């Protein structure tokens, strides 16, 4: 497979001028990002790399980080985690409060904000220093220590994050939050502020394409059963109320973030990350969605 030629074709075909969405202005720091940015990186099972554009420039990964925190929580709790979270697609926007009341404070899945905040509560309850342990986990699976929180983005999220604060208070009132609200949202805003490049993200997500093992060292980090569960959730819930559309168009398990990043994997084959900050009305990268559709069409390879 000539991945580089396929990526070159995608780069030639697509431009930020072809999309009609907007950057995520509700987080002030994200509104400052150059909407012209566009990069893509493929990391293959044979450790070969292919890329174009701004693939090595770091950006705020936002909700992509929820895959990492879920993986850590599953290592800590195993199947007991699902006493506090469900595994169904939400069908609602990522920051919706509406389902919590009639579902007794149990978030529909770990990737909507309510679910990720419950995960944050679990990590705060069980880890001595969850911020550092999240960094350590991501650095380990990428083999790269140059991964950090973007303090400006974390502060920007805190200044406007009233809805997330409301979510934690509401879930706590319904009995599914143990820790204090302030440290939970502080951790959550920091995890979303993680700054990574497409190159780093594609390498990190190879753990989910390689049955829980670090590709370069063969070190087992996650159980195959855990990876199966996470990949299934990415397939069904990784794009909020556009998860079905992503499966239909792209045909890979993946996760998006409002920073404009998307990562997707093909088990035993590759991990691919794309970044374009302009979002569609569902909060997913408009150009990123199109680029990944072209990628699986041109390669002829998806999970279906």
DSSP for 117-178, please give it.
HHHHHHHHHH-S-HHHHHHHHHHHHHT-S--EE-HHHHHHHHHH-HHHHHHHHHHHHTT---
Look at residue 94 and tell me whether its pLDDT is greater than 70.
Answer: no
Q: Average pLDDT over the chain, rounded to whole?
A: 95
Q: How confident is the model at residue 15 (pLDDT cuts 50, 70, 90)?
A: confident
Percentage of the chain beyond pLDDT 70 is 98
Cβ-based neighbours of 100, under 8 Å, separated by 6 or more = 106, 107, 114, 167, 170, 171, 174
Is residue 113 marked as binding?
A: yes
Look at residue 98 and tell me whether its pLDDT is greater than 70.
Answer: yes
User: Residue 100: enclosing H or E segment and its boundaries?
Assistant: helix 98-102
Look at residue 92 and tell me whether its pLDDT is greater than 80.
Answer: no
Look at residue 209 and tell me whether its pLDDT is greater than 70.
Answer: yes
Per domain, the residue ranges of the chain are 3-299
Structure tokens at 214: 């670090």
**Under CATH, domain 3-299 is a member of which superfamily?**
DD-peptidase/beta-lactamase superfamily (3.40.710.10)
For 271-281, how does the pLDDT look when each residue is reduced to its tens digit (9 = 90+)? 999 999 999 99
- Distance, in Å, from the CA atom of 155 to the CA atom of 190, rounded to the nearest integer, reads 8
For 151-199, how does the pLDDT look when each residue is reduced to its tens digit (9 = 90+)? 999 999 999 999 999 999 999 999 999 999 999 999 999 999 999 999 9
Is residue 49 marked as binding?
A: no
Are 107 and 167 in contact, with CB atoms under 8 Å apart?
no
pLDDT on residue 202? 98
User: Residue 294: enclosing H or E segment and its boundaries?
Assistant: helix 286-299
pLDDT on residue 101? 79
Are 23 and 277 in contact, with CB atoms under 8 Å apart?
yes
Average pLDDT, integer, range 114-136: 97
Crossing angle of helices 65-77 and 113-126, in 10° steps, is 50
Structure tokens at 297: 């069409």
Q: How confident is the model at residue 97 (pLDDT cuts 50, 70, 90)?
A: confident
Q: What's the half-sphere exposure (Cβ side, CA atoms, 13 Å) at 264?
A: 27
Is residue 263 marked as binding?
A: no
Look at residue 95 and tell me whether its pLDDT is greater than 70.
Answer: no
Give the residue carrying structure tokens 């969850």.
Answer: 130
Structure tokens at 41: 């990186």
Coil, helix or strand for 41? strand
Coil, helix or strand for 56? coil
pLDDT on residue 238? 95
Which of 3, 15, 2, 65 has its CA nearest to residue 278?
Answer: 15
Q: In this structure, what are the phi and psi dihedrals at residue 175, rounded to the nearest 5 degrees?
A: 90, 15
Is residue 240 marked as binding?
A: yes
- Distance, in Å, from the CA atom of 268 to the CA atom of 87, rounded to the nearest integer, reads 24
């Amino acid at each position: 497979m000539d991945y580089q030629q396929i990526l070159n074709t995608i780069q030639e075909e697509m431009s930020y001028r072809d999309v009609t969405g907007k950057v995520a202005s509700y987080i002030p720091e994200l509104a400052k990002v150059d909407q012209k940015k566009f990069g893509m990186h493929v990391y293959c099972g044979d450790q070969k790399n292919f890329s174009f554009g701004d693939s090595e420039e770091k950006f705020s990964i936002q909700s992509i980080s929820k895959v990492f925190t879920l993986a850590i929580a599953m290592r800590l709790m195993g199947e007991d985690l699902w006493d506090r979270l469900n595994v169904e697609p939400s069908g609602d926007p990522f920051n919706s409060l509406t389902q919590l009341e009639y579902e007794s404070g149990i978030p529909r899945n770990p990737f909507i904000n309510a679910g990720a905040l419950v995960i944050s509560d679990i990590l705060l309850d069980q880890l001595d220093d969850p911020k550092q342990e999240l960094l350590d986990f991501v650095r380990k699976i990428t083999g790269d220590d140059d991964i950090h929180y973007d303090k400006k983005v974390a502060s920007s999220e805190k200044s406007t994050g009233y809805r997330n604060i409301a979510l934690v208070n509401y879930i706590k009132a319904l009995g599914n939050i143990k820790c204090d609200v302030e440290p939970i949202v502080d951790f959550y805003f920091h995890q979303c502020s993680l700054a990574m490049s497409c190159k780093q993200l594609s390498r990190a997500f190879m753990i989910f394409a390689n049955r829980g093992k670090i590709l370069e060292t063969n070190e087992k980090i996650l159980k195959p059963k855990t990876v199966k569960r996470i990949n299934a959730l990415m397939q069904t819930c990784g794009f909020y109320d556009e998860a079905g559309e992503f499966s239909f168009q792209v045909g890979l398990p993946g996760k998006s973030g409002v920073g404009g990043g998307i990562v997707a994997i093909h088990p035993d084959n590759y991990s691919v990350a794309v970044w374009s900050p302009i979002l569609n009305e569902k909060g997913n990268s408009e150009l990123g969605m199109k680029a990944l559709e072209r990628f699986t069409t041109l390669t002829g390879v998806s999970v279906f």
